[in-house]
Amino acid sequence: GQNIDQPTEMTATEGAIVQINCTYQTSGFNGLFWYQQHAGEAPTFLSYNVLDGLEEKGRFSSFLSRSKGYSYLLLKELQMKDSASYLCAVRDSNYQLIWGAGTKLIIKP
Amino acid sequence: TAGITQAPTSQILAAGRSMTLRCTQDMRHNAMYWYRQDLGLGLRLIHYSNTAGTTGKGEVPDGYSVSRANTDDFPLTLASAVPSQTSVYFCASSGSSNSPLHFGNGTRLTVT
């Protein structure tokens, strides 16, 4: 079956750096997405990786290794507003999105 | 403001009753999706539509139906609600198979 694994919850300190990992086993691969979801709100798009390597976008970066079925989202200079759930999703060979359950990130002052 | 509008925001529904969740987008996206989100689980696809006039079944389609009469609207109907359909429902759209999804604000449904 298809599977996306990410940690359920992580805690980090304001101003620090945190890395959220995602491993996947899917039928084919057509890109990996990261979304941010604040409590009670809709998911919003953060990043997209289709080739191996690092994509940097401001304080957020996303890395992909297709051979390892692995990605991470790196958040730098953490702010309290970064407290949210982070969702990893992979597009399979049928272009359907397979979603992880999300990682709840708690930021402490 | 451009985007996806869902209605209602929340609803309490008696078991056995029917209900239609509305979804409208103004981005002229071809593809639209309905997901449910339950605590501890990833978003699960209920139904999708790649273009107006076509629909397809997702991972959890039982008990739900959809229609796509035009590009903008993609309503989701529960014919006879059951308590296991208590969830948060998100409608989403995308411009192409490689584009990210844009989500509506969700409908919180409680079936009693």
CA distances from B87 to A50, B10, B11, B52 (A): 31, 10, 10, 26
CA distances from A90 to A8, A24, A38, A102 (A): 18, 8, 20, 13
Question: How many residues belong to chain B?
Answer: 112
User: Lowest mean pLDDT: which of A44-48, A96-100, B93-97?
Assistant: B93-97
Q: What are phi and psi of B85, to 5 degrees?
A: -90, 5
- In angstroms, the separation between the Cα of residue A99 and the nearest Cα of chain B is 5
What pLDDT score does A62 carry?
Answer: 98
What pLDDT score does A2 carry?
Answer: 86
- Rounded to the nearest integer, the mean pLDDT of chain A is 96
Contact with chain B for residue A2, Cβ under 8 A: no
What pLDDT score does B2 carry?
Answer: 67
Contact A99 B44 (CB under 8 A): yes
Contact with chain B for residue A16, Cβ under 8 A: no
Q: Cα separation of B73 and B36, whole Å? A: 18
pLDDT in tens, chain B (112 residues): 569 999 999 999 999 999 999 999 999 999 999 999 998 888 999 999 999 999 999 999 999 999 999 999 999 999 999 999 999 999 999 998 778 999 999 999 999 9
Q: Cα separation of A20 and B109, whole Å? A: 30
Portion 51-90 of A in contact with B at CB < 8 A: 87, 89
Contact with chain A for residue B36, Cβ under 8 A: no
What pLDDT score does A64 carry?
Answer: 98
